[in-house]
Amino acid sequence: MIAAMAMLQSWGSAGTAIASFLFVWDMIRRHLPPELLRVLERWTRKLRVVFNPYVQISISEYMNRNLKPHDAYAAVEAYLSVNSVKEAKRLKAEMITGADKLVLSMDENEKVNDEFHGAKVQWISGKLEARQREHYPEVDKRYYKLIFHKKHREMITGPYLDHVVRTGKEIQTRYKKQKLYTNSHSKTTWSHIVFDHPASFEKLAMDRERKQEIVEDLITFREGREFYERIGKAWKRGYLLYGPPGTGKSTMIASMANLLNYDIYDLELTSVRDNTDLRRLLAETTSKSIIVIEDIDCSLDLTGKRKKILEKKTEGGTEKSKKEALSKDTEDGSSRVTLSGLLNFIDGLWSACSGERIIVFTTNYVHKLDPALTRRGRMDKHIELSYCSFEGFKVLARNYLGLESHPLFESIRLLMKETRITPADVAENLMPKSRKEVAERCLRNLVQTLERAKEKQRSDKGKEELEDNEPITEDKLEEKQETRNADETIELNAV
């Protein structure tokens, strides 16, 4: 009892001393000259730094003096929302753009503790009100403050922060929604929607060995950061998808994006004004994305035809008339993207920006493309998507009808050996037209379609034999091939 009374008396004495000190300090602050007071406060801060054993690191929501988001802030927020928010008493719930559920995070001025290899740290969330900011006063500035003992400085500023950012980005990737971007003619920026395509390699109508080869190539690329750094190449890979219409090129791209969890940038070349805008669009793409240019042969043909027309319009004219024609051509909305600009887009210096990316070209007629565009190093892997095989048919039968086997499978296998049909046409025949239509009826429809296609191909072959004696130029041969492919597609669709 006596000891307790003595302790209370000592606390009371200490409280009186502190109160007296604060009173005297307040009197000094009021009567000292401002210059001397500033010097005294500066020395007081230095003393606090000397005797304070803790270090602070602030991570702001925006970069200094501009409104560009700070990637590290978003990573820290994701890390704390999963790893440390369990002990916070005040939380805020937000719906992140593209997500389908609420995400919890620390409220302002909330504190949580974390531990890393025995070192204890504390995170504090805060916000500077708009009126407190000198730049961009209309925007609040949120931040996270990390506090730790100075004896752990090297471990916290190195491995721990690397761990926080890396884990936070993994969490962001896990919960993010994929996006499909496109460029418009009126703006040199990307607009996007949520990408929610159900395609996958398991459902792709292709031979199992070829699918496995492509999947392994994609996964090797995704995990090849150290390899690309070691060989001194930009972390990117080009894929050329070619084959007749309806063979699944767009479905292949969707399957690639879903396998890797990448966003897709669908680049419409005819909407890009010139090479400068093309570079700007490339610089705005993000890492972990697939840049797609579909029907690249059509885009290049459009550019080539425009150039020939422009040369005819300016032929024999003065330099002034050529500039006027070029200016009018630009005002009319025509694209001035050149093959050289496109090649630099693929593997020039600008192609190294934004990190991990895949570039995909699609074409129906690969022989039309310039060899400079398709060479290895630009389009590293060429993937032919041809007519449907029996293995591809079995995948579609399983997808559409839920069948692994059927007595009609053998007839279909024999017909497919002698007939060319695209996966799109096979799928259309397997699609039930009503709820009452059974699987056998769909298979019989496919058999009839294959038999008709076989008869037509036999008839076309007979006509070709009659025309063999006629001289055929290269242009005429190409025209015949294109007409034949178009006729086959029209006939199969009609059936």
CATH of 179-384, one of 3.40.50.300, 3.90.220.20, 3.40.50.2000, 1.10.645.10: 3.40.50.300
User: pLDDT value at position 460?
Assistant: 75
For the segment 396-400, the average pLDDT, to the nearest whole number, is 93
User: pLDDT value at position 494?
Assistant: 37
Provide the percentage of residues in the chain whose pLDDT is more than 70: 69
Q: What whole-number distance in Å separates Cα of residue 99 and Cα of residue 420?
A: 43
Is residue 11's pLDDT more than 60? no
User: pLDDT value at position 136?
Assistant: 42
Residue among 412, 392, 406 at smallest CA distance from 438:
406
What lies within 8 Å, CB to CB, of 431 at 6+ separation is: 400, 442
Q: What whole-number distance in Å separates Cα of residue 277 and Cα of residue 283?
A: 10
More confident of the two residues 391 and 461: 391
For residue 197, CA distances in Å to 22, 219, 242, 432, 455 come to: 67, 20, 21, 21, 37
Is residue 395's pLDDT more than 60? yes
The three-state DSSP-derived secondary structure of 6-30 is: HHHHHHHHHHHHHHHHHHHHHHHHH
Q: With beta carbons less than 8 A apart as the criterion, state whether 255 and 204 touch.
A: yes
For the segment 105-128, the average pLDDT, to the nearest whole number, is 86
- β-strand partners of 291: 265, 359
More confident of the two residues 252 and 103: 252
Q: What whole-number distance in Å separates Cα of residue 133 and Cα of residue 384?
A: 58
Q: Residue 318 — very low, low, confident or very high, per pLDDT cuts 50/70/90?
A: low
Exposure b/e, 122-160, CB count within 10 A at least 16 = b: ebbbeeeeeeeeeeeeeeebbbbebbbeeebeeebeeeb
Q: What whole-number distance in Å separates Cα of residue 251 and Cα of residue 203?
A: 10
Phi and psi at residue 426, in whole multiples of 5°? -65, -45
pTM listed for this prediction:
0.65
Other C-beta atoms closer than 10 Å to the C-beta of 88 total 20
User: pLDDT value at position 142?
Assistant: 84
User: pLDDT value at position 362?
Assistant: 93
Provide the percentage of residues in the chain whose pLDDT is more than 90: 30
Q: Is 483 exposed, middle or buried (0-12, 13-18, 19+ CB in 10 A)?
A: exposed
Per-residue pLDDT tens over the stretch 235-247: 999 999 999 999 9
Q: Where is average pLDDT lowest: 23-32, 97-106, 199-208?
A: 97-106
Q: What whole-number distance in Å separates Cα of residue 147 and Cα of residue 161?
A: 12
Is residue 133's pLDDT more than 50? no
Q: What whole-number distance in Å separates Cα of residue 107 and Cα of residue 89?
A: 9
Which sequence spans correspond to the domains of the chain? 33-175, 179-384, 395-494
